[in-house]
Structure 1
Amino acid sequence: MDIRTATAGDLGDMARTARAALTFDAAEAPALLAGLAAPPAGRRRTGLVTEGGVVYASISGKDPAVGHIDLLAVHPGRQGEGRGRALVRAAEDWLRAEGATQARFAGNPPCYAWPGIDVRYTPAASLAERLGYERYHVAWNMTADLTLALPVEDDLVRLAAQGVTVGTGQRDRVVEFVREHWNDSWAWEAANATGLHHAERDGEILAFAAWGSRPTWFGPMGTAPAAQGLGLGRVLLRRCLAEQRDSGQAAAQIGWVGPLRFYSRAVGARAERVFWLYRRELV
C-alpha cells in the first residue's frame, strides 16, 4: 500500500475523503484539515495519505515524548482493506522518528480536531483497541441550542453600575491577558478565534470568551480570580453564542467541557458528544 507525505495538491482529495468518512463532522471536515495543515508556529506535524485515506499526526508542545494521532479518515468505499491500520502504523513510525515514546488518540491543543475519538465513530475506537491502545480518559462536549433567547441587557446594566464594560476589538490586549492568567495554548486560541469578547474595568481586562478557533465551537473562556462572582462568564458566553447564531449556526458545541453545571444553567446546554482518549507506548 502506497503511503506518502501529503502535499498542498492533495488537500482537495483529502477533504473529500474526510467529508465522506467523518459523517458527524462532514460540514467541518475541510476546515479541520486546513487547520491541522497550518498549526501553531514550531509544532512538528505530518499529514500522510494513501488512496482513500488520510492521517494527521503531531508532537505535543508540552511534552516532546508524546505524539498525537490528530485525525484519521478512510473513505467508506475503501474501508475493510486495512488502510486505517496502515495509516496509523505509518503515523506511529513518523512519531518514533521524531522522538515520541507514546502515541495518543487525543487532541493536541491548541490546534486539534477533537478531544479524542467520538464514541459514535465505533470503527475508529475498535481499531485503536485492536492496535493495542488503552482507553485512559473520557471527555465530553455540550451542545447549546442557539434558537433559544440569549439575553444580556439587564446584566450589562448591572455591570455598568459597577464600572465594568463588555466589548470586542482589543485582541492583542486580551491575548496577553489570557497568556498571563492561563497558558500559551489558550492564548493561541484567543488570537485565532473568529469572535473574542472581553470585560474590563478601569483599563484592566477581567475576563474573556472566544469562539471559532476550532471551527464552529465555543471556547475557551475564563475570568481572572479577582473578578470571579461578578457574573462575567455568563454574559460573555451569551454574547459569543449570539454572534455564532448571527453567523448562521443553529447550535454550538462547547468543547472539552469542565463545569457542566455552569453551561447548563447559563444557556441550557446539554452534555451530548462523548470522546474516549486512547494511548499506547511506542516500543
Structure 2
Amino acid sequence: MPDMLVKLYDLPDNSALLERLRGEGIAIKRAMTGDKQAIVDFVGLHFTNSWRNECETAFSHLPVHCYIAVKQGEVIGFACHDVVVKNFFGPTGVLEEYRGLGIGKALLLECLSAMHRNGYGYAIIGWVVDAVPFYEKSVGAIAVPDSFPGVFRDLISMD
C-alpha cells in the first residue's frame, strides 16, 4: 500500500473525457458547501468512516477541496485533495456500477489540476491499496519506496 508521486505539470488533457461523460449524463464538478451533508453522507454510506471524515474536511476550505460525479441529481463518485495532509490526493471512490467509465480518472484529473493551479508541482496519492496500475496509467504516478503507512501511521483505527 505505497504512496505514489505524480508530476502535476505534465497532466494529460481531461477535456475530451469530461465531454464524453457529459454526453452520458454524468457531470464532474467541484462540490458546493450547500451539498456538504449529501456528499459526506454518500461517502459514509458507500465507503469508510475514515473517508467520510476526510471528505468532511474538504469543506473546511474555500473553494471546497472535493470534486463529485453526478448523474440525474445523485452523487455517484467523489475525490478530495489536501484533506489528510497538504499536497495529498485522496480519498476517492466511485460507485461500483459506474466503474470503468472513466469517472475515477476524470475526478482524479480535476483534483490534480486544482492542486497544480494552487501552486503544487507534484502531488502524493496516499495509501494506494489496489489501484497502483490505474494511477500509473492515468497520470504516470510512481510508487514511493517504504511509504506505508507513512503519514497514516498514527491513526487510532484504520477502517
TM-score in same-fold range (> 0.5): yes
Are residues 1:143 and 2:143 paired?
no
C-alpha distance 276-267 of structure 1, shift in aligned 2 (>3 A): closer
The percent of aligned pairs where both chains have the same amino acid is 31
What is the rounded CA distance, in whole Å, between the counterparts of 1:191 and 1:253 in structure 2?
Answer: 20
Q: What does the per-residue CA deviation read over 1:245-269, in whole Å, with 9 as the maximum and x for residues that have no partner? A: 1111110000011211000011110
Task: Note the C-alpha offset of 1:276.
Answer: 5.3
Are residues 1:173 and 2:35 paired?
no
C-alpha distance 152-276 of structure 1, shift in aligned 2 (>3 A): closer
What residue in structure 2 maps to residue 216 of structure 1?
A: 87
SS at match of 1:274: coil
What residue in structure 2 maps to residue 7 of structure 1?
A: none
What is the rounded CA distance, in whole Å, between the counterparts of 1:196 and 1:253 in structure 2?
Answer: 16
Give the letter for the 2:77 counterpart.
A
SS at match of 1:140: coil
Map 1:1-283 → 2, pairs under 5 A: 139-168=1-30, 169=32, 170-193=35-58, 194=61, 195-214=65-84, 215-258=86-129, 259-275=131-147
Task: Note the C-alpha offset of 1:149.
Answer: 2.8
Q: Which has the higher contact order (CA 8 A, sep 6+)?
A: 2
Q: Which runs of 4+ in 1 moved over 6 A?
A: none
What is the rounded CA distance, in whole Å, between the counterparts of 1:152 and 1:275 in structure 2?
Answer: 29
8 Å CA contact 1:140–1:274 kept in 2: the answer is yes
TM-score with structure 1 length normalisation?
0.47
Bigger proportion of residues as strand: 1
8 Å CA contact 2:88–2:123 kept in 1: the answer is yes
8 Å CA contact 1:144–1:269 kept in 2: the answer is yes
TM-score with structure 2 length normalisation?
0.83
Give the letter for the 1:151 counterpart.
D
What residue in structure 2 maps to residue 80 of structure 1?
A: none
What residue in structure 2 maps to residue 108 of structure 1?
A: none
Q: What does the per-residue CA deviation read over 1:54-91, in whole Å, with 9 as the maximum and x for residues that have no partner? A: xxxxxxxxxxxxxxxxxxxxxxxxxxxxxxxxxxxxxx
SS at match of 2:13: coil
Alignment size in residue pairs? 140
